[in-house]
Structure 1
Amino acid sequence: MSTTACAVSFATLALALPAVGCAPQDAAGADKRTISYWMWDASQQPAYEACAKAFHKENPGLRVNITQIGWDYYWTKLTSSFIAGTQPDVFTNHVAKYPQFEKLGVLSPLDELGPTRGIKASRFQPGLAKPWMGRDGHRYGAPKDWDTVGVFYNKKITRAAGVSDAELRDLAWNPRDGGSFEKTVARLTVDANGKRGDEPGFDKDKVVRYGLATNDAGGDNHGQTQWSSFAGSAGWRYTDKNPWGEHYNYGQKRFRNTIDWYFGLAEKGYLAPLKDYSDTNHPETQLGSGKAALAMHGSWMLSTFAGLKGVDLGIAPTPKGPTGKRASMMGGLADSIPKNAKNKAGAAKWVAFLASDECQNVVGKNAIVFPATREGTEKATAAHRKNGLDVSAFTRHLEEGTTFSFPVTDHAADINGMMTPAMQDLYAGDSPPSSLTETNRQINFLFQQNN
């Protein structure tokens, strides 16, 4: 995803929005029998097509038309549709994008629409519903799924290094010496001469297998699958409050120490360098090719990792941190209805159905993501178990209450624009962790301008 493109598109929307609010809507000519639904994940489309079929049986006068648009173009097209008045009736929303839409007033409050008014937060996994509550107290998204972070690994590699599954499930880290996590990552790292990272003579400049795969620097996603779990388990939090915080904490010593240690793994030769990351060399590629032994990633990547040929896949939970607990960002998507949806009545019925156990169970059985409801989650877990995959590394965060939310604030595109180069410079060794103090000051200045 291009952060610059997002910033430009949202700026364009902000300038053009007054015209949108005054644009006449052809309500009389709108097809009240069809509900247009946009999503970006092609792997989930079959499950939602099945939900649409079940929805049609219950509502024979309505038909759902699903359009799948790739992530890179999805937000640009969606933003343009708000301006042109061609917006869908319902769309899959992301918590990172939602604040901009909420502030610009292009979303319908779900608690004011009949079918969606009864959607209760208690129906969903803890923490999923709260981020979708707007500053005005209205709900603008019905949770559809959730994700946490885990450590994917190839059992063939870890066992050959003398590292057991039990050890991987009980790792811990600290910013002083890295704890058992760093020791394990070092053990799994191998240079061109066959020396491991924990052996004398190891050459960090000639590594053939890194202990930990690279997944970029994490500046454009708040480190979700990179360093967020470490920072969270150190007791650090992104903002003064969430949602709708107005003060970021990237300059805090606790965070700087975490980042110094994390990117220090690359300097030691244990973490693949930033230059190794590319559009064709993601963590799953590195694990599948044997270029990395461990890869931290989100649960939405389960089917991709499980499909790697020649890999005996194992999944471990994130390591415990200085707090003595594990931590993981809990992401979650939701379904939203545009304010100027052509078929708002039908849209509300469809969103209510998407949040129902009937649809959520269909999505769960598809085993691509974890549905937002408890029952749907159980269906997904059972489906993975049937396929021989233990996904407890992800679900245990919910059971143990060790999740934290993606930061929901204004200025997301601007913040990403600042954090992306800042974190890449840190990763490459071109800037010290202390530089985060100035970056954080610039970020917080965005909120001061609003006051």
Structure 2
Amino acid sequence: MARIRKRLGIGIVGAAILSLALTACGGGSSDSGGADSQGGAIDTSNASGEISYWLWDANQLPAYQQCADDFHAKNPNITVKITQAAWDDYWTKITNGFVGGTAPDVFTNHLSKYPEFVSQEQLVPLDDTLKKDGIDTSIYQPGLADLWVGQDGKRYGLPKDFDTVSVFYNKKLIADAGIKESDLQNMTWNPDDGGTYEKTIAHLTVDANGKRGDEAGFDKSKVKVYGLGLDGGSGSGNGQTQWSMYTGTLPWQFTDKNPWGTHYNYDDANFQKTMGWMHSLIEKGYMPSLEAVTGQGSDTIYAAGKYAMITNGSWMIGAMYGAKGIETGTAPTPIGPSGKRSSMYNGLADSIWVGSKNKPAAAKWVEYLASADCQDVVGSKAVVFPAVKTSTEKAEAAFKAKGIDVSSFTVQVKDGTTFLFPITDHASQIEGIMHPAMDAVFTGKAQPSSLTDANNQVNGLFG
């Protein structure tokens, strides 16, 4: 789907301006008779009126429109107006809406964003309302509900879905290389020589003359097919679909603790060695340069037959399998030095804006979005994995009915080889530091050791 989760933040300057503006206007209003940023139960028993709901994923819009229609049928006094906007525009409109008083009543929230929104008092705590309405948070996949509890111990969202990362591959290109699909299921990786994973990537790379990356005479300046694609960029400070599945198999973690860590570890030798390995794939011609992929969708490049494999998130299943003329398969991420494979585990949630003029209807809608009634609908569309455990099973069945095996994504959850998206304060400032720093390493303008300085800048944000 179209939600590109790894591009984060609004920039240091933008964040500073937003923070000042929010301070000046005192956050959002709370004249709906419901809870404000300090909490308190919202009375949903007589909710009515129209509310606005925003999301960024166009692929999920039909499912949530059906949820809205079903919700209205059950609650004829409440109407939900849905607006969809692309990722970058979405967050600009959200943050500008906080300042201008035009933000939606309810919106799809991201783990990288909500800590700052909480500190700016833009979100409504849900604890008392959920308790009053008897909402059970144990129905979700393990750990997802906990991600949305802030440092203050209050809940600011109810889970809607989760995602993991896997390897998508072009079946024809795999076959042409004489590689069995079964061989892709247990590839191994290490940051020193790339393991069997790099050997596979090299063999799948083909130049304009038909020479493979592991053959004499291979011309890295005229690559026709890259063994491994690059999803949109360097991955900035989280590398969700670019490199986090590798670093997750090392004795390395993003922060001293997660969530709510206060010390990042981009200065670690294991991390920097991995970034050096990533750059080496570009240098060898096995993976495209950062400049070559900037501004292009990885699914578009894949659909053109230019990637034999690419690591990407489960939200891209529909797009990758929908590539015309391409028969696609998936394999789990490679097994690393830990002896296990790994994947970042990210989960979205729906939150209520503190400035909503109709918090009773907004709260009732959030509760419905997080229910099996809605998430069963989402799962049946075979686009993402819903957070409700029984709805996840329905999604797996829906994917299977389409002939898509999603076990390479779900195995990470079943085997417990996931790790959490790093949740800390200062996300936009960290993005402002790590994005150019990581880009410099990927383009060869800086050595991986330069990330130590970037790490010092990041940790300086925490005082």
TM range (shorter): over 0.9
Residue in 2 that maps onto 1:18: 23
Q: 1:146 to 1:83 in 2, by over 3 A?
A: same
Q: Tell me whether 1:447 sits opposite 2:462 in the alignment.
A: yes
Among 297, 318, 333, the alignment partner of 2:312 is 297
Contact (CA 8 Å) 1:214, 1:276: kept in 2 or not? no
Q: 1:5 to 1:55 in 2, by over 3 A?
A: same
SS in structure 2 of the partner of residue 331 of structure 1: strand
Contact (CA 8 Å) 1:3, 1:417: kept in 2 or not? no
Residue in 1 that maps onto 2:432: 417
Aligned equivalents of 1:227, 1:157: Cα separation in 2: 23
Q: How far is 1:24 from its partner?
A: 6.0
Q: How far is 1:140 from its partner?
A: 0.4
Aligned equivalents of 1:71, 1:415: Cα separation in 2: 19
Among 354, 358, 361, the alignment partner of 1:343 is 358
Q: How far is 1:204 from its partner?
A: 2.1
SS in structure 1 of the partner of residue 52 of structure 2: strand
Give per-residue Cα distances to partners, 1:306-361, cap 9 Å, x unaligned.
11111111111110100010100111110001122111111111111111111000
Among 279, 302, 306, the alignment partner of 1:263 is 279
Residue in 1 that maps onto 2:66: 50
- Where do 5+ consecutive residues of structure 2 fail to align? 34-46
Residue in 2 that maps onto 1:366: 381
C-alpha RMSD of the superposition: 1.9
Residue in 1 that maps onto 2:227: 211
Q: Tell me whether 1:389 sits opposite 2:404 in the alignment.
A: yes
Moved more, 143-152 or 70-79: 70-79
SS in structure 2 of the partner of residue 38 of structure 1: strand
Moved more, 259-268 or 197-206: 197-206
- Where do 5+ consecutive residues of structure 1 fail to align? none
Aligned equivalents of 2:420, 2:162: Cα separation in 1: 11
Q: 1:255 to 1:373 in 2, by over 3 A?
A: same
Give me the TM-score of the superposition, normalised by structure 1: 0.94
**Aligned-pair identity (%):** 53
Residue in 1 that maps onto 2:326: 311
Residue in 2 that maps onto 1:406: 421
Aligned equivalents of 1:23, 1:302: Cα separation in 2: 37
Give me the TM-score of the superposition, normalised by structure 2: 0.92
SS in structure 2 of the partner of residue 168 of structure 1: helix
SS in structure 2 of the partner of residue 296 of structure 1: strand
Q: Tell me whether 1:153 sits opposite 2:143 in the alignment.
A: no
Q: How does 1:207-246 map to 2 (within 5 A)?
A: 207-220=223-236, 222-246=238-262
Moved more, 213-222 or 249-258: 213-222
Q: How far is 1:64 from its partner?
A: 1.2
Q: How does 1:41-190 map to 2 (within 5 A)?
A: 41-114=57-130, 118-190=134-206
Matched pairs, number: 445
Give per-residue Cα distances to partners, 1:258-282, cap 9 Å, x unaligned.
11112211111111111210323x3
Aligned equivalents of 2:147, 2:278: Cα separation in 1: 28
Contact (CA 8 Å) 1:52, 1:64: kept in 2 or not? yes
SS in structure 1 of the partner of residue 462 of structure 2: helix
Aligned equivalents of 1:220, 1:341: Cα separation in 2: 33
Give per-residue Cα distances to partners, 1:200-247, cap 9 Å, x unaligned.
222222222110112244343610000000000123210011111100
